[in-house]
Amino acid sequence: MANDLTIIRERGFNALKKELGSSGMAIFLRQFENGSGNYTEEREETLKDLTIDDIAASIISRKGQQH
């Protein structure tokens, strides 16, 4: 059975590489990596002092940089 899984994995990688290219395959596979930590807690900590005015100012600043 292990050989079957090895073959399936190899064929899957080959199909992804053929269809997406090497970099596209890498980007696709990264979507399925297990992360670490607690995203919700980290996000709340990072954004705890952010106000709606900060967000609005950031949007206005970015729009000004697009020209």
Give me the mean pLDDT over the 37-65 stretch. Answer: 92
Contacts of 24 (CB under 8 A, 6+ apart): 16
Question: Using an 8 Å Cβ cutoff, are 26 and 13 in contact?
Answer: no
pTM of the model: 0.46
Q: How confident is the model at residue 1 (pLDDT cuts 50, 70, 90)?
A: low
Please give the DSSP secondary-structure letter assigned to residue 32: T
Asked whether residue 10 carries a pLDDT value surpassing 80, the answer given is yes
| pLDDT for the residue 2 | 66
Alpha helices in the chain (DSSP H): 2-30, 39-47, 52-65
Asked whether residue 35 carries a pLDDT value surpassing 80, the answer given is no
